[in-house]
C-alpha cells in the first residue's frame, strides 16, 4: 500500500467518525433543548398532521424561501436538487451490483453537477452584490461556499475534462466500507476532490450547514398552533404556579 493511499484511508475514517459523531451529538442537543413557548410562524397548522405536511413542503420545496425571495429560491433550489442527484449518483461507488434506480440516475446526476455549481455561484454572488447580505456575511460564509464550489468543479473536471480510473476508484471506495483496502488512483483532480470532500465532512458538524438536521427541530416550524388548547410553561414558571396554587 502506498503512502498516498494510506493517507486517504486514514483521512476518510477520521472524517467519517467526526461527521457521524458530531452530527449525532448536535441532533441530541437539538432534541433535548427545551422549547417551552408556543412560537410557530403563523399562519401555522393546528394539527400534528398539518405540521408534518408543512415540514414536508418546507424541506422538499423550500416553501418559506419561495414566498420571501424568488431569486434566492431559484439558486438555492438549483443547488440542493443538483446536490441530491449528484449524491445519489455517487452511491454506485459503494455497491456491487448497483441498484437499477442508481444506474437510471447516472446521466441525470452527471449533468446535475452543472446546476449545483450554478446555484452555488448565484448564492455566492448574492453575498457580494446585495448590500444587506454583504453586511452580515462572515468569512466562514464565503469559505463554505468556496469549498462547495471547489468540490463541484473538481468533480466536474473528472467527468468532463480528465477522466479518472473509475474501476480503481470504485475498488478503493468499496474497500473503505469492507476494510479491504485497495490502491487509490493518483490523479490530481481526484485527489483534490477527495481531500475537499473529507474537509467538508470534518467541518460539517461545526458549520452553518447544520441547518440540514436543524430544520426538523425548529420550533417555529415543528410546533402545532394550539396555545389555547395546551399551555407551555417554562420549568421555573411551572414551579412558581405550583407553589402559588
Radius of gyration of the chain (CA): 22
- Residue 35 pLDDT > 90: no
Instruction: With residue 231 as reference, give the H or E element that holds it.
Output: none
How large is the average pLDDT for residues 169-197?
95
Mean pLDDT across the chain, nearest whole number?
Answer: 93
Nearest to 182 by CA among 16, 48, 4: 4
State whether residue 76 is helix, strand or coil. helix
pLDDT score at 240:
77
- Residue 234 pLDDT > 80: no
- Residue 245 pLDDT > 70: no
Reported as half-sphere exposure (CB side, CA atoms, 13 A), residue 242 has a value of 7
The distance of Cα 48 from the centroid of its chain, to the nearest Å, equals 26
pLDDT score at 55:
96
Cβ atoms within 10 Å, residue 96? 10
Rounded distance, CA 191 to CA 120, Å?
A: 22
Rounded distance, CA 245 to CA 26, Å?
A: 38
Per-residue pLDDT of 62-107, as tens digits, reads 999 999 999 999 999 999 999 999 999 999 999 989 999 999 999 9
Question: Where do we find the cell 466500507?
Answer: 177
How large is the average pLDDT for residues 182-207?
96
Domains of the chain: 3-238 (1.20.950.20)
Reported as half-sphere exposure (CB side, CA atoms, 13 A), residue 46 has a value of 4
Nearest to 166 by CA among 239, 120, 98, 119: 98
pLDDT score at 242:
76
Share of the chain above pLDDT 70, in %: 99
Rounded distance, CA 74 to CA 123, Å?
A: 10
The residue that leads in pLDDT, 227 or 58, is: 58
Nearest to 140 by CA among 157, 159, 122, 127: 127
- Residue 118 pLDDT > 70: yes
Q: Which three cell numbers stand for residue 78?
A: 438549483
Cβ atoms within 10 Å, residue 40? 20
Report the range of poorest mean pLDDT among 29-38, 156-165, 210-219, 226-235. 226-235
The distance of Cα 240 from the centroid of its chain, to the nearest Å, equals 42
Amino acid at each position: 500500500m502506498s503512502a498516498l493511499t494510506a493517507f486517504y484511508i486514514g483521512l476518510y475514517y477520521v472524517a467519517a467518525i467526526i461527521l457521524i459523531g458530531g452530527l449525532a451529538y448536535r441532533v441530541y442537543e437539538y432534541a433535548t433543548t427545551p422549547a417551552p413557548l408556543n412560537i410557530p410562524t403563523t399562519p401555522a397548522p393546528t394539527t400534528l398532521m398539518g405540521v408534518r405536511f408543512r415540514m414536508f413542503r418546507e424541506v422538499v420545496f423550500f416553501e418559506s424561501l419561495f414566498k420571501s425571495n424568488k431569486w434566492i429560491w431559484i439558486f438555492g433550489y438549483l443547488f440542493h436538487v443538483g446536490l441530491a442527484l449528484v449524491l445519489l449518483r455517487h452511491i454506485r461507488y459503494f455497491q456491487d451490483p448497483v441498484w437499477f434506480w442508481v444506474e437510471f440516475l447516472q446521466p441525470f446526476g452527471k449533468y446535475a453537477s452543472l446546476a449545483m455549481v450554478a446555484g452555488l455561484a448565484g448564492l455566492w454572488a448574492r453575498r457580494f452584490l446585495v448590500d444587506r447580505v454583504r453586511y452580515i456575511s462572515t468569512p466562514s460564509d464565503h469559505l463554505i461556499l468556496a469549498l462547495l464550489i471547489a468540490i463541484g468543479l473538481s468533480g466536474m473536471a473528472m467527468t468532463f475534462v480528465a477522466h479518472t480510473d473509475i474501476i480503481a476508484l470504485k475498488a478503493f471506495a468499496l474497500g473503505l466500507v469492507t476494510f479491504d483496502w485497495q490502491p487509490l488512483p493518483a490523479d490530481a483532480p481526484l485527489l483534490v476532490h477527495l481531500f475537499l470532500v473529507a474537509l467538508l465532512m470534518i467541518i460539517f458538524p461545526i458549520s452553518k450547514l447544520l441547518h440540514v438536521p436543524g430544520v426538523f427541530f425548529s420550533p417555529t416550524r415543528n410546533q402545532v398552533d394550539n396555545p389555547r388548547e395546551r399551555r407551555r410553561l417554562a420549568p421555573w414558571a411551572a414551579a412558581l404556579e405550583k407553589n402559588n396554587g
